[in-house]
Structure 1
Amino acid sequence: MTRRSKTKLGYNDRHAKSGITAPLPDIETFPNQYKGYEITIEIPEYTAICPKTGLPDFGTITIHYMPDKDCLELKSLKMYIHAYRNLGIFYENSVNRVLQDVVTACRPVWAKVTGTFAARGGLRSVIEARYP
């Protein structure tokens, strides 16, 4: 028996997959000079668009990682995050996409991306994705 996802209110696969393969700016890196330490980057001005309603989403993205050979370069990370501003993408997908792109860019020892999204309709979401 296969499990089929149930959709309500007109949500469909197009909405669910929105933004996950959209082209975004590259996140640049620079060579790490030390081992065994952690970096936390907090981005309090994250914005994107709900792929169903077209309404803006606001939140804070926190990237916490242990670098291996490379560290994330912050200006390129800022440009990468700003590219979400006009992108239709669900919270869950954006957090997982950021993690995927961070891991691709710098191949950290480990990484965690947390999205803390502003309350809408009385609900606030916190999404967390980890590597490995």
Structure 2
Amino acid sequence: MSDGVETAGLTQLGQTTGLPESPEAAVLERVPNPQADVAYCVRFTAPEFTSLCPITGQPDFAHLVIDYVPGAWLVESKSLKLFLGSFRNHGAFHEDCTVAIARRLIALLDPAWLRIGGYWYPRGGIPIDVFFQTGPVPEGVWLPDQGVPPYRGRG
């Protein structure tokens, strides 16, 4: 690429790529962070995340917000989209899905900091929100609110 971004070794960007069959089969890719000397926050929002209930097989829906302060690496966004999409046919509880996503990103990126908010829509009349973060926000990093209001039904 002419803009100096290192893309050697990426297998999905710029290619027709099918949805992985499972999160384990999904290939998450990374690129070098050209601004690694600066502490800043990157946010990914997936308002239409889906997975399956591991007991009933019924679909579950969530609004995910992933914030991270990168170190040497950035997650390649197409690979992240495909990874998140791979949960569509994956049976797991809300807590497992949310924390598993965070753990895969941490293993890939070794970020300075990461948090994920999993705002799950009601199942059985009860919404479940799952939150995970690696520690305190690094000093000097501006971190906006995740912007997802608590679930309110008709009341």
Under TM normalisation by the shorter chain, which class is it? 0.7 to 0.9
More helix by share: 1
* Map of 1:6 onto structure 2: none
Look up the SS of the partner of 1:54 in the other structure.
Answer: coil
Q: Do the aligned partners of residues 84 and 25 (structure 1) sit closer, same or farther apart at CA in structure 2, a change above 3 Å counting?
A: same
Report deviation, 1:95.
0.7
* Map of 1:93 onto structure 2: 96
* Map of 1:109 onto structure 2: 112
Q: Which ranges of structure 2 fall in alignment gaps of 5 or more residues?
A: 1-21, 136-155
User: Alignment identity in percent?
Assistant: 29
Q: Which amino acid aligns with 2:71?
A: D
TM-score (norm 2): 0.69
TM-score (norm 1): 0.80
Report deviation, 1:87.
0.4
Q: Alignment length, in residue pairs?
A: 112
Is the CA contact 1:99–1:131 (under 8 Å) kept in the aligned structure 2?
no
CA-atom RMSD, angstroms? 1.5
* Map of 2:50 onto structure 1: 47
Is the CA contact 2:23–2:87 (under 8 Å) kept in the aligned structure 1?
no
From 62, 73, 89, the equivalent of 2:65 is 62
Q: Which ranges of structure 1 fall in alignment gaps of 5 or more residues?
A: 1-20
Q: Which amino acid aligns with 1:51?
A: P
| RCO comparison, higher one (Cα < 8 Å, 6+) | 1
Distance 1:22 1:41 in 2: 18
Superposed counterparts of 1:8-27, under 5 Å? 23-27=24-28
Look up the SS of the partner of 1:33 in the other structure.
Answer: coil
